[in-house]
Amino acid sequence: MEHAGTGPGWALALEHSALGETLRQALWLYPAANVLHVLAVVAMVGSIFAFDLRIMGVARSLPLAALARLLLPIAAGGFAVAAVTGFLLFTADATAVWNNPVFVYKLGLIGLGLVNIVVFHLIPWRGVETWNTDLPSPGLAVAGAFVSAAAWAGTATLGRLIAYF
């Protein structure tokens, strides 16, 4: 099986770019990006799970708005680092990864997770002052927390599985 290969033009161009070449040839850049990608995902998914659990009803004495000020920047920062390092890893092997069906599903789950964030902040989160502490979260917020946990756990799972399919 030839790996230097076939795929859409943009993926070929990315793979053959100077950046792609550097990632393939430099001994430690690719492993370093790989490690940073994992650390970023750990920070992001961990903080998201903590926030989701609080919305689902765990530790209701913790004020949600205050918790959000700690956890959401960690999640956003983790996402930014994961996106950059993920792009670097993709560039090294763009056509093969693009042809890997697991990767496409992973992108789909990332899309679902991002749409969920937007919907969550536009609708239930607006009224958070009324259920900030010691109260059950509204159904729509809880549903969003479940979608979030599933989407990001699925994203991390499929990310790991790219290497196995």
14 binds another protein (CB under 8 A): no
131 binds another protein (CB under 8 A): no
Restricting to residues 34-63, which ones interact with another protein according to CB under 8 A? none
* Binding piece for another protein, criterion CB under 8 A, among 35-43, 61-69, 72-80, 140-148: 140-148
119 binds another protein (CB under 8 A): no
* Binding piece for another protein, criterion CB under 8 A, among 1-9, 41-49, 59-67, 71-79: 1-9
DSSP the chain: ---S--S-HHHHHHHTSHHHHHHHHSTTHHHHHHHHHHHHHHHHHHHHHHHHHHHHTTTTTS-HHHHHHHHHHHHHHHHHHHHHHHHHHHHHTHHHHHT-HHHHHHHHHHHHHHHHHHHHHHTGGGGGGGGSSSSPPPHHHHHHHHHHHHHHHHHHHHHHHGGG-
Restricting to residues 88-117, which ones interact with another protein according to CB under 8 A? 92-93, 99-102, 105, 108-109, 112
28 binds another protein (CB under 8 A): yes
Report the interface residues with another protein, using CB under 8 A.
Answer: 1-4, 23-31, 92-93, 99-102, 105, 108-109, 112, 138-140, 142-143, 146-147, 150-151, 154, 157-158, 161, 163-165
